[in-house]
Structure 1
Amino acid sequence: METALIVLIVIVALALIFDFINGFHDTANAIATSVATKVLTPQQAIAMAAVLNVVGALTGTAVAKTVSKDIIAPEFATLGLVAAALISAVVWNLFTWWKGLPSSSSHALIFSMVGAGVAAGGWATVIPKGVIKTLQGLLYSPLLGFVTPIILMTLLSWLVLRWMKPRAVTRNFRILQILSAAFMAYSHGRNDAQKTMGIITFALSAYFGSQIDIIPHWVIYACATAMGLGTATGGWRIIKTMGFKVVDLKPVDGFVAETSAALIIDGASSLGIPVSTTHTISSAIMGVGTTKGFRKVKWQVAGKIVQAWVFTIPTCIVLGWVVHKAILLAGGN
């Protein structure tokens, strides 16, 4: 078996490992609120999220095409570059999971690609259009994630909640929150699994020496399965941070946060914009919290989450650069 093919197989395996880690790292995105409000047990929530992550991952490839074609210029695609990006993203994901910080797996992968690309051929390797699209998603998704639940909660308060007894609100929104958690899990799979599809397709383009425009079916199914399996293992450290440490949540709060975040993520997926499900749902939880009163949000914990967001981009650019340089020194390409 030729060396390049062996390297490709290793890269595909590494990409699926990243997807698996993404699954358990970002499980909290879909289920933290429903677990915190005790609408679902952790086991029920994880099982539901695992299934719907897979379903979401099978429903489109717009984000995957952005990652495979619009971040690094195809002429600079090498297996070493892809390997460096994946190693960097995996290291950062595991570090933030260990610390219990809900950082963005998506931006870890994309900006690790940027760092590895710069190491390979300078800034000319980076395609501004794709990076700008990613940065726009990075900026707008948390802003919308913060504002949308405030608007939705205000509307619910005027149209529904003020006419219902507290017990009825809790009873009805316990049911609705199961649906919103399912929607959140589906939208997470639809956006996040596609990034790994994109990086594998990028590696295939590097191996065959020509750009692949259509995501292969086996790549779609493999990534969907890897994310589902990862989600099934859970991510309790981050679930505790997002579900219990930012703001005290009730079923109506969880419904509003999940519905708002899922709508934003699903819209971004349709437009091919890689967004952070972590940023979006975290912002939505904070937005819901502010409707209870500014002091109800535990801003010290929220600040630590924001720090993880801020550090992800420069850290992963540097990590991608360093890992790729190490691969080049070791004789890779």
Structure 2
Amino acid sequence: MRTLSSSLLRGLAVVAMFAWGTTAFAQAFDFTPEQKGRLRTERNAAAIAAIPKDFRFVKEGTFTVAIAPFAPPISTYASDAKTVVGFDPDYAQLIADALGLKLELQPIAWADWPLGLSSGKYDAVISNVGVTEQRKEKFDFSTYRLGLHGFYVRADSKIASIKEPKDVAGLKVITASGTNQERILLEWNRKNVAAGLKPAELVYFDDDAARLLGVVSGRADANFNPNAPQAYHAAKDGKIKLVGTVNAGWPLKSDVAITTRKGSGLADALTLAANGLIQGGLYGKALARWALAEEALPRSETNPPGLPKF
């Protein structure tokens, strides 16, 4: 199913009825351009010393970062429709501070980052880019977030945990066609059938709003898609809850990373800066500010193993 059916539209009534008590659990998010709650940090001498002497920033004294504002809580536009806010902008600011640089964000279309970075338009990309072996052929990476897909269910669902294939047996699960999350569910179904269990029924909707409505209205038991947008909705209105996460690269891993030009030498300095933020606690606070504590890395790595070609 690819569009909203009449029965799903009738679920709007259920959504209205389900609004009980959700505001008590809601987390307030700051979408003002001033971002008074944005965290800042001191210079990291070790990270600064690791910047190659011959490295030239696009602008002297400035860390120029490309970012694609696509959805909260990762990155979106503030209430002034021009300032970029979210976790990725917050993280970019912390890294710039650690390197003793001013931050300049350049909003771009996500598909444009590889060419722009290769041609030297910006120093780095901080925009939800996952590490893959193919991308590592042209770019360097400094990881800063787990790449997670989340299982979210209605807040009053009796489903308490979805961690492995058997947990989805017989459930109706929303996902997106042609994605890693669909690939994972199809493999889980194969394992369940081989074990004599019922496969999950995969349900397809075109956008996040329809997926959210599908779960809240009872059209499906769970939504399995990227964690961050669902975590935002769960924290914002309390209508859904997290019952499990799976790495986007399952059975391997696929972390999210700052992306830089291959061989530029900047990646090691960025990794040092990231680990300073992790050790000092600001990293965790920045994640929590945008309801992304589940995606915390224990440490940043330079060019770790990435998602292979499937």
Band the TM-score falls in, shorter-chain normalisation: under 0.3
Structure with a larger share of its residues in strand? 2
TM-score normalised by structure 1 residue count:
0.23
Per the normalisation by structure 2, the TM-score is 0.24
Larger helix share, 1 or 2: 1
